[in-house]
């Protein structure tokens, strides 16, 4: 019960903080719309109008990933700058539990991206929003967002030791978009990249969302999303404990 | 004149080095050396899916466009960084010639942006088999520098705006997005709405990218001289506008005591 309270309070507080950040507004709303616009024009120019909903969903997921990535990348660093990281580390609950709601809030903010690209696509490009399995879509989207939030928690834990978090964030944005096949099929990629794609929650997440919207099997990809989400939670619990201990031992926790 | 050159070269170099006091190699390499390649790959694969153009078309467009990241952020932070480090007032209190002071900051940024864009071409060659004729390489290198120059001019303008709006990363990100959509980087200009096509004519990179694509296809540099001239003129115009705006906002900042207000 106490853990749920920690998650709820942290989630609410971080959501409020993100709501005041113009950078997050840019990442979660403006940037996905920009990428969606480019994708729409590219598909139209290539006479592939039928794939515009496919592009809108992919661009939305790109925004979810960017928000999670930059949110998780910045989460530990911002706490450092604000001088609250030590308080988080010293609090009685496990550090992973303290930062879990922050990561979930980051990913939740990413859902704005999906809404923004779908609304933009509908209003400007006249894309029809006829979902093949609307209820499964409603299930697949939050499940994917939660899994991405948990993946973000793993990333955030590494940033306790790795202080140049923004660099890793910049490095991982396009590669995960590519490896997850968010706006194109991963069959275009070399075969050796397949295991990388399979290990990424966004890969299964976009499959689940796409199949729910356009038709196809949803439960298989959704099960993989859940499995990878649980795996990320377990890994992040361990890595948070490990990296926190290492940072305490080296006295580098608050070094900027 | 000797002082002007000293402020231009030494001042610019020190300012750029100061940038790397906090942008360390661990930030520089992923962002400016790996980033352009991943951008090239992403849009080349998207282009294949859209059945639009071949890979080399996307390699050239995105590699040249990637100069905008280093140019816009580099120029923005060259000014905004001074404010965060609380050295802006000290810099502006000096009697140093303003053209040497501000323009000196553009040279390292321009070189850096060119190198960053160059890595996009290397990535395209390594992963997508981009192979322009060897004779095209000097021309391509020149056009990359030209595009980076025009972007640096635009960066100067956005840095000046940053003196008033304060949020340099937002300005730089939005400007980059505009360049990515409008300049024919990933969508041929004639496939964009007419108003976007018209707007693109007045933006940096549009002409450099168009010229670079022709040169990569084997055309000579002299055959794209009109595009070269327009791109250079645009770069100069943005640079001049940025410089004038910096002076205006500097003056306003002194008068209203708002220079250090972050």
**Residues A90-115: tens digit of each pLDDT:** 888 888 888 888 888 888 888 888 89
Q: Reply yes or no on whether the pLDDT at B10 is more than 90.
A: no
Name the DSSP class of B95: -
Distance of alpha carbon B4 from the chain centroid: 24
So what's the pLDDT on residue B249?
87
pLDDT band at B98 (very low <50, low <70, confident <90, very high): confident
Residue numbers in chain A where pLDDT is lower than 50: none
Q: Span B38-63, mean pLDDT?
A: 94
Chain A residue whose CA is closest to B180: A38
B 96-155 → A contacts, CB under 8 A: none
**Average pLDDT of chain B, as a whole number:** 88
Of B30, B48, B192, the CB nearest to A171: B30
In this prediction, residue A166 carries a pLDDT of 62
pLDDT above 60 for B135: yes
> Which residue in B has a C-alpha nearest to residue A38's C-alpha?
B181
Once rounded to an integer, what is the mean pLDDT over residues B99-117? 89
Smallest CA–CA separation between A47 and chain B, in Å? 8
pLDDT of B55 > 90? The answer is yes
Identify the pLDDT of residue A98: 87
Q: Which residue is closest to B184 within chain A, CA to CA?
A: A38
Cβ atoms within 10 Å of A51's Cβ, excluding its own = 20
By the CB < 8 Å criterion, does B7 face chain A? no
For residue B167, which residues of chain A lie inside 8 Å, CB to CB?
Answer: 22
Q: Does B36 touch chain A (CB under 8 A)?
A: no
pLDDT of B25: 65
In this predicted structure, what is the pLDDT of residue A221? 96
Distance from CA of B119 to the nearest CA of A (A): 14
Which residue blocks in chain B are alpha helix, DSSP H?
2-6, 12-22, 25-28, 35-50, 55-65, 67-84, 88-93, 98-103, 106-128, 137-165, 168-182, 194-201, 206-216, 225-256
Residues making up chain B, counted from first to last: 262
Is the pLDDT at B227 greater than 90? The verdict is yes
Average pLDDT over residues B167-185: 90
Looking at chain B, the whole-number percentage of residues with pLDDT higher than 90 is 57
Taking each continuous run of H as one helix and of E as one strand, the counts in chain A are 11, 0
Instruction: Among B39, B48, B188, select the one facing A174 at the smallest CB separation.
Output: B39
Q: What is the pLDDT of residues B244-255, one digit of tens each?
A: 998 898 888 888
d(CA A42, CA A36): 10
- What ipTM, to 2 d.p.? 0.89
- Contact predicate A30/B177, CB 8 Å: yes
Banded pLDDT at B21 (limits 50, 70, 90):
low
pTM of the model: 0.89
- Please check whether residue B26 touches A, CB under 8 A: yes
Among A34-38, B30-34, B49-53, B159-163, the minimum mean pLDDT is found in B30-34
Name the residue in chain B with its Cα closest to that of A165: B27
- Whether residue B170 and residue A26 make contact (CB cut-off 8 A), yes or no, is yes
Higher-pLDDT residue of B26, B253: B253
Residue A187 CB contacts under 8 Å (≥ 6 apart), including other chains: none
pLDDT above 70 as % of chain B: 93
Out of B27, B167, B191, closest to residue A45 by CB: B191
């Amino acid at each position: 019960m106490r853990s749920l309270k920690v998650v709820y309070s942290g989630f609410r507080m971080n959501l409020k903080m993100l709501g005041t950040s113009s950078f997050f507004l840019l990442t979660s709303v403006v940037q996905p719309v920009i990428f969606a616009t480019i994708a729409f024009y590219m598909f139209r120019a290539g006479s592939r109008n039928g794939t515009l909903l496919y592009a809108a969903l992919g661009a939305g997921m790109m925004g979810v990933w960017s928000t999670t990535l930059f949110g998780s990348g910045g989460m530990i660093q911002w706490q450092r700058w604000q001088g609250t990281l030590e308080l988080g580390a010293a609090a009685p609950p496990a550090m992973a539990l303290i930062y879990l709601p922050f990561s979930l809030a980051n990913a939740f903010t990413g859902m704005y991206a999906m809404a923004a690209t779908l609304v933009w696509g509908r209003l400007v490009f006249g894309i029809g929003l006829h979902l093949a399995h609307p209820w499964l879509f409603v299930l697949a989207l939050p499940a994917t967002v939660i899994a991405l939030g948990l993946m973000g928690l793993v990333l955030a834990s590494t940033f306790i030791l790795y202080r140049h978090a923004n660099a890793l964030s910049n490095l991982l944005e396009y590669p995960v978009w590519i490896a997850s096949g968010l706006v194109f099929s991963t069959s275009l990629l070399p075969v050796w990249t397949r295991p990388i794609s399979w290990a990424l929650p966004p890969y299964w997440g976009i499959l689940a969302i796409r199949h729910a919207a356009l038709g196809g099997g949803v439960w298989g990809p959704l099960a993989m999303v859940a499995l990878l989400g649980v795996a990320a939670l377990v890994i992040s619990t361990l890595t948070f404990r490990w990296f926190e201990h290492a940072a305490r031992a080296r006295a580098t926790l608050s070094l900027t | 004149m000797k002082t002007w050159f000293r402020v231009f070269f030494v001042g610019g170099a020190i300012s750029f080095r100061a940038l790397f006091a906090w942008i360390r190699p661990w930030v520089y390499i992923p962002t400016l050396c790996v980033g352009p390649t991943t951008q090239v790959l992403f849009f080349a694969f998207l282009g294949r899916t859209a059945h639009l153009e071949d890979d080399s078309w996307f390699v050239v467009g995105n590699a040249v466009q990637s100069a905008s990241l280093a140019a816009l952020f580099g120029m923005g932070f060259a000014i905004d960084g001074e404010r965060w480090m609380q050295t802006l007032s000290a810099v502006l209190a000096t009697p140093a010639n303003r053209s040497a002071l501000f323009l000196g900051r553009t040279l390292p940024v321009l070189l850096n942006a060119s190198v960053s864009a160059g890595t996009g071409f290397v990535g395209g060659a390594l992963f997508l088999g981009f192979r322009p004729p060897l004779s095209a390489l000097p021309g391509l290198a020149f056009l990359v520098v030209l595009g980076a120059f025009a972007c640096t001019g635009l960066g100067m303008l956005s840095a000046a705006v940053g003196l008033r709006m304060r949020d340099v990363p937002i300005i730089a990100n939005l400007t980059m997005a505009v360049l990515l959509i409008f300049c024919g980087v990933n969508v041929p200009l004639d496939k964009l709405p007419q108003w976007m096509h018209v707007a693109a004519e007045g933006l940096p990179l549009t002409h450099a990218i168009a010229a670079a694509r022709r040169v990569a296809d084997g055309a000579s540099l002299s055959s794209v001289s009109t595009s070269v001239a327009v791109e250079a003129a645009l770069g100069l115009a943005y640079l001049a506008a940025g410089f004038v705006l910096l002076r205006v906002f500097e003056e306003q900042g002194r008068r209203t005591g708002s220079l250090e207000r972050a």
